[in-house]
């Protein structure tokens, strides 16, 4: 009970900080920090997606960049078609591009979810190191495909000339776009909290703890994991969509294994399986990049050391270190 309330307090503090910083930044006329906070928010959302598969389901996906990038490209491609007045497809029926965020998000989630369904059908038959390698391999395939496909920018990436629209909001105002991203992040965390406590969540967490036990009671771990992998990918894909809009640019680097690694770093730094772990992790990551990135170009090396320390001495990440182990009621 004590741990639980401590974690709740910590989560509340994190949320208020994330929400407060951009407004404080505006007050002191430092709009750059609004963008920084938006990056934290979107990275956290990508981490929330991975954390669902990894933290609750024990699925160590090293290919979540695929979903992040697909979400981004879904936005980039549709928006570029809309801006060029070129339909995406004209036969057998016509599909137009769009610049409506809500539609773009839906498409991004569907595309990432379908990709996860296919990748999961293959990769979830394996486990351990094989699973890590297969998810990585699929992501690399998509990465090289994006690089070698000139229609949408190839290696150079694809600019999005106008930020996409959201009903009743001027999305070009940074704080507005931050609020949209923040709202999406909170909804995603709420969704994960609900799923975690459901029957599905119970089965998923049991699959992580002991898959033989789950099978022996008559529940097939494979389908539980597949569904979790798809949900996880959809959340990370949504983050990719927002990231595309933040930068008004998508590039193959969103799909690269570096990105998969970074998303995993958010989860590990913050605390694997903790609801707000990715928020803490993404914030630490950006903070680290911001502080040490200015001092040395080898900041990634030092981040590596921190990561090593977390894995060796603070397995629960920031949240676990402060709030203690997870206890199930």
Partner 1 sequence: MTDYSGGGDAPVLEIRNLYKSFGALKATDDVSLTLMPGEIHALIGPNGAGKSTLIRQICGEFEPDHGSVHFLGNDLKNSGVADRAQLGLGRTFQISSLALEFSALRNVMLAVQSTSGSSFKFFKPVMKDQPLVDAAMSFLGKVEMQSRANVPAAELSHGERRKLEMAIALALKPKAFVLDEPMAGMGPEGSKALTGFLSDLRHQAPILLVEHDMDAVFALADRISVLVYGQIIASGTVDEIRGNSVVRTAYLGEDA
Instruction: Report the residue from 152, 166, 200, 299 that binds partner 1 according to the rule CB under 8 A.
Output: 200
With CA atoms as reference, report the closest residue to 62 among 142, 134, 127: 134
User: What is the SS3 assignment for 29?
Assistant: coil
Q: Which helix (H) or strand (E) holds 205?
A: helix 199-209
CB of 193 to partner 1, least distance (A): 10
Instruction: Report the residue from 125, 220, 258, 298 that binds partner 1 according to the rule CB under 8 A.
Output: 220
CA distance 59 to 225: 8
Restricted to residues 257-296, the positions that interact with partner 1 (CB under 8 A) are none
Q: Which stretch binds partner 1 (CB under 8 A): 111-119, 139-147, 189-197, 250-258?
A: 189-197
CB of 221 to partner 1, least distance (A): 8
Instruction: Report the residue from 14, 115, 224, 233 that binds partner 1 according to the rule CB under 8 A.
Output: 224
CA distance 292 to 309: 17
117 touches partner 1 by CB under 8 A: no
Instruction: Report the residue from 28, 85, 199, 312 that binds partner 1 according to the rule CB under 8 A.
Output: 199
**Token code pair at residue 275:** 């609801």
Instruction: Report the residue from 102, 156, 187, 213 that binds partner 1 according to the rule CB under 8 A.
Output: 213
Instruction: Report the residue from 61, 135, 205, 236 that binds partner 1 according to the rule CB under 8 A.
Output: 205
CA distance 244 to 236: 12
CB of 29 to partner 1, least distance (A): 44
Q: Which helix (H) or strand (E) holds 216?
A: helix 211-216
With CA atoms as reference, report the closest residue to 18 among 316, 281, 314: 281
Nearer to partner 1, 150 or 218 (CB): 218
Question: The dihedral of CA 147, 148, 149, 150: what is its sign?
Answer: positive
328 touches partner 1 by CB under 8 A: yes
CB of 187 to partner 1, least distance (A): 14
Ramachandran class of 85: left when φ > 0, alpha when ψ lies in -120 to 50, beta otherwise? left
Give residues in contact with partner 1 (CB under 8 A): 194-195, 197-203, 205-206, 209-210, 212-220, 223-224, 227, 326-329
């Amino acid at each position: 009970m004590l741990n639980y309330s401590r974690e709740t307090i910590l989560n509340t503090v994190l949320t208020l900080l994330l929400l407060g910083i951009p407004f404080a930044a505006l007050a002191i006329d430092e709009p750059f920090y609004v963008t920084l906070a938006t990056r934290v928010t979107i990275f956290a959302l990508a981490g929330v997606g991975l954390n669902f598969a990894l933290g609750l389901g024990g699925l160590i996906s090293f290919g979540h960049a695929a979903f992040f990038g697909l979400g981004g490209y879904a936005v980039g491609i549709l928006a570029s078609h809309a801006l060029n007045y070129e339909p995406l497809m004209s036969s057998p029926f016509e599909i137009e591009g769009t610049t409506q965020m809500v539609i773009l998000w839906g498409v991004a989630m569907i595309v990432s979810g379908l990709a996860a369904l296919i990748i999961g059908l293959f990769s979830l038959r394996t486990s351990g190191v094989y699973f890590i390698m297969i998810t990585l391999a699929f992501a690399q395939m998509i990465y090289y495909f994006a690089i070698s496909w000139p229609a949408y920018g190839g290696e150079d990436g694809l600019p999005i000339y106008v930020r996409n629209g959201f009903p009743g909001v001027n999305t070009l105002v940074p704080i507005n776009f931050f609020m949209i991203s923040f709202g999406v992040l909170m909804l995603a965390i709420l969704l994960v909290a609900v799923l975690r406590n459901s029957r599905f969540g119970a089965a998923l967490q049991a699959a992580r703890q002991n898959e033989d036990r789950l099978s022996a009671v008559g529940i097939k771990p494979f389908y539980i994991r597949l569904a979790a992998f798809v949900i996880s990918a959809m959340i990370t894909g949504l983050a990719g969509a927002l990231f595309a809009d933040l930068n008004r640019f998508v590039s193959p680097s969103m799909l690269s294994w570096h990105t998969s690694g970074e998303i995993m770093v958010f989860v590990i730094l913050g605390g694997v399986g903790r609801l707000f772990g990715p928020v803490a992790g993404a914030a630490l990551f950006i903070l680290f990049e911001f502080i040490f990135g200015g001092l040395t170009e080898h900041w990634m090396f030092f981040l590596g050391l921190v990561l090593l320390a977390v894995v060796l001495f603070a397995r629960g990440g920031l949240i676990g270190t402060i709030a203690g182990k997870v206890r199930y009621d």
